[in-house]
């Protein structure tokens, strides 16, 4: 006889919403939940498996045997199996053993809604709650004011397993990071931290981008409540937390979502739309209502249960195009005969609508590498509804330009100025992410040409140009001190380098640029508007110099920026300015405290000499391979 007591968390309204793909709090219903029924403590289990003829809960409470704990199917066509198991307590390991109507197949699966998982390579789910007394009310109450698009966005991207190691090999725990990582991000002046996926994943070399536990922080670094503590500590220091989120694909691991109930439940049944050839992974069926509800519930879950401030959505381009990474004959056009994935587009719009309607002061950020139009336009204007989009074109053009020897840069100056022709077509974030320092691309430092001094000067110039270009900023860990080797997910960053002046100088540059960005309204108030930028000179090929103005709401906040892309100092370099006023130096990447040469003038007095179309001008000294910023 079954030892499962009939019990349900679902109302008829819940079921109607679920079938319609409109239930966006499924984590409150599906999965395992500690509860009490008729005075008896135990666990309620619920799982979606419409192709099953029977579903059993197996675990260490019944010695992993099938037949003793069969769940009850709901007779409403929802495909949900559920029931209450007395005596099953917190920490119990379990899976679902599913007998399918499809060819009598048996599958044994981890719980898609599990809140905690065994540490890989083990694959069981754990019954868990994650109590935490939040201390971040000040941040949450004012987040809408701090996290808006007219506020600074300087993001430090982190891979938790390799940021820092103890004992030479062991990753820090969530609680250790709540001290060390939070202190470091605050000291460096970043406004936000972004974590590469923290959801449970089986395969370390995937860096977390192939998920099996969508609702569980990885157990590699501690318990779910420990991760809550980490987020809480960041918030107490006034730092926002962004999570990488992967609704684009998932792995075929036997315990995961693939072929879940003996059918293509979560993945699209047509391999032309359900299999990703690059990543050897499965693609969600965005046209299936229950799958959409699963994914949107997952986005909501991290914002709701973990107080997360933003989601950076991975691989959006792969979702938008049916022919993404496919040859002719390997894909099928949509109903209009073109290559857009209409179901994925609809899903992304609905996800963004739900997120922005339900949570104040959050942002969604798209990693989208094509020229797809309207990624950050509101849904009611026909856009996808994201808050920001990674500016991949800028990143590529900028790094290609900087790797050139300076003598050749005059011929390719348009590579560095071209971004301004489209900079305001979307709300762009400028990313130097983990993808730019792996697979033989070299570290940012070693992409720079020249001798040691020039490499570091180029890197300081690169960062100065980045922070004064319109848009938010993202920098992958290690870049902020000039990591010399490519990122290795198995090893710690090379923190010993910071004892050397050139490397500590890069750290000081990032600190000061973050401070400049946070304290200069001209750099963020209109960072997504053409009103916030004005060229002074973009075509001085002879000197390889560009000059421009960044503008805020108040003209007195305006900044004038000059970038010298050659190692030749430009003395007596005249620059037209819009007002007859003295200028004060607020940043110089060639400062001696950064191990620069110390060239440059602290103040500039204007003259009535017409230049660059302005009736007044100043004469600057432009240091070699440097950016100077005046107010």
Q: Output DSSP code: residue 182.
A: H
Longest dimension (CA), the chain: 96
The alpha carbon dihedral of 321, 327, 330, 335 has a sign of: positive
Q: Output DSSP code: residue 253.
A: -
Q: Give how far Cα 315 sits from Cα of 8, 279, 320, 354, 464, Å.
A: 37, 11, 9, 20, 28
Who contacts 351 (Cβ-Cβ below 8 Å, separation ≥6)?
A: 247, 295, 296, 299, 364
Asked whether the beta carbons of 82 and 46 are under 8 A apart, the reply is yes
| Per-residue pLDDT at 280 | 92
Asked whether the beta carbons of 79 and 46 are under 8 A apart, the reply is no
Q: What is the mean pLDDT of residues 248-262?
A: 97
Tell me whether domains 12-127 and 395-630 share a fold. Answer: yes
Q: Give how far Cα 231 sits from Cα of 135, 180, 212, 296, Å.
A: 10, 13, 22, 21
What is the C-alpha separation between 497 and 484, in angstroms, rounded? 9
What is the C-alpha separation between 272 and 217, in angstroms, rounded? 31
pLDDT in tens, 434-493: 999 999 999 999 999 999 999 999 999 999 999 999 999 999 999 999 999 999 999 999
| Per-residue pLDDT at 202 | 96
Pairing label, strands 106-109, 388-390: unpaired
Per-chain mean pLDDT for the chain: 96
Tokens read off for 470? 């319109």
Who contacts 177 (Cβ-Cβ below 8 Å, separation ≥6)?
A: 160, 163, 221, 230
pLDDT in tens, 86-103: 999 999 999 999 999 998
pLDDT at 414 over 80: yes
| Per-residue pLDDT at 572 | 93
| Per-residue pLDDT at 2 | 62
Catalytic residues: 314, 367
Going by C-alpha positions, the residue among 261, 241, 212, 280 that lies closest to residue 101 is 261
- The domain locations on the chain are 12-127, 395-630
pLDDT at 1 over 90: no
| Per-residue pLDDT at 404 | 95
* CATH code given to domain 395-630: 2.60.40.1180
| Per-residue pLDDT at 468 | 98
pLDDT in tens, 520-572: 999 999 999 999 999 999 999 999 999 999 999 999 999 999 999 999 999 99
Q: Which fold is adopted by the domain 12-127?
A: Immunoglobulin-like (2.60.40)
């Amino acid at each position: 006889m079954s030892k499962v007591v009939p019990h349900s968390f679902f109302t008829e309204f819940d079921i109607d919403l679920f079938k319609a793909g409109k239930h966006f709090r499924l984590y409150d219903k599906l999965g395992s939940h500690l509860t009490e029924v008729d005075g008896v403590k135990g666990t309620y289990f619920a799982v979606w498996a419409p192709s099953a003829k029977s579903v059993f809960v197996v675990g260490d409470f019944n010695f992993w045997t099938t037949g003793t704990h069969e769940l009850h199917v709901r007779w409403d066509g929802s495909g949900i199996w559920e029931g209450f198991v007395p005596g099953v307590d917190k920490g119990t390991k379990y899976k679902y053993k599913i007998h399918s109507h499809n060819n009598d197949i048996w599958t044994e699966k981890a719980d898609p809604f599990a809140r905690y998982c065994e540490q890989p390579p083990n694959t069981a789910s754990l019954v868990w709650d994650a109590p935490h007394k939040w201390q971040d009310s000040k941040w949450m109450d004012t987040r809408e004011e701090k996290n808006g698009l007219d506020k600074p966005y300087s993001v430090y991207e982190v891979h938790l397993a390799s940021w820092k190691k103890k004992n030479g090999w062991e990753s820090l725990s969530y609680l250790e990071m709540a001290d060390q990582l939070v202190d470091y991000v605050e000291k460096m002046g970043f406004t936000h931290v972004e974590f590469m996926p923290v959801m449970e994943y089986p395969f370390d070399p995937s860096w977390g981008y192939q998920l099996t536990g969508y609702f569980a922080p990885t157990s590699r670094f501690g318990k779910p409540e420990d991760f809550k503590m980490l987020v809480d500590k960041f918030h107490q220091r006034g730092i926002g937390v962004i999570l990488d989120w992967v609704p684009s694909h998932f792995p075929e691991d036997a315990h995961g979502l693939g072929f879940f109930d003996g059918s293509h439940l979560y993945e699209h049944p047509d391999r032309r739309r359900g299999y990703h050839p690059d990543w050897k992974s499965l693609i969600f069926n965005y046209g299936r209502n229950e799958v959409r509800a699963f994914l949107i519930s997952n986005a909501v879950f991290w914002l709701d249960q973990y107080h997360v401030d933003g989601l950076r959505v991975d691989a959006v381009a792969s979702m938008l195009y049916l022919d993404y990474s496919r040859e002719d004959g390997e894909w099928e056009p949509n109903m209009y005969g073109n290559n857009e994935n209409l179901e994925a587009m609809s899903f992304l719009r609905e996800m963004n609508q739900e997120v922005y309607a339900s949570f104040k002061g959050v942002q969604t950020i798209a990693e989208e590498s094509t020229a797809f139009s309207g990624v950050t336009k509101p849904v009611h204007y026909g856009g996808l509804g994201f808050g920001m989009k990674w500016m991949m074109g800028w990143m590529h053009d900028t790094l290609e330009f900087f790797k050139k020897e300076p003598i050749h840069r005059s011929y390719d100056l348009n590579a560095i100025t071209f971004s301004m022709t489209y900079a305001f077509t979307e709300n762009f974030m400028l990313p130097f992410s983990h993808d730019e320092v792996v697979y033989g691309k070299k570290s940012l430092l070693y992409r720079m040409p020249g001798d040691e001094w020039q490499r570091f000067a180029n890197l300081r110039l690169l960062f100065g140009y980045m922070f004064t270009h319109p848009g938010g900023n993202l920098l992958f860990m290690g870049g902020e001190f000039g990591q010399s080797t490519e990122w290795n997910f198995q090893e710690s960053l090379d923190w010993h380098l910071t004892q050397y002046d050139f490397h500590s100088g890069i750290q000081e540059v990032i600190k000061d640029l973050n401070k400049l960005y946070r304290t200069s309204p001209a750099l963020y108030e209109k960072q997504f508007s053409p009103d916030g930028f004005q060229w002074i000179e973009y075509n001085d090929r002879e000197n390889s110099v560009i000059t421009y103005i960044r503008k805020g709401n108040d003209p007195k906040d305006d900044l004038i920026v000059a970038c010298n892309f050659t190692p030749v100092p430009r003395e007596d370099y005249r620059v037209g300015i819009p007002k007859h006023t003295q200028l004060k130096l607020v940043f110089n990447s060639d400062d001696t405290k950064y191990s620069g040469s110390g060239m440059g003038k602290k103040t500039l007095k204007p003259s009535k000499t017409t230049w660059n179309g302005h009736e007044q001008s100043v004469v600057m000294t432009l240091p070699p391979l440097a950016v100077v910023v005046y107010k």
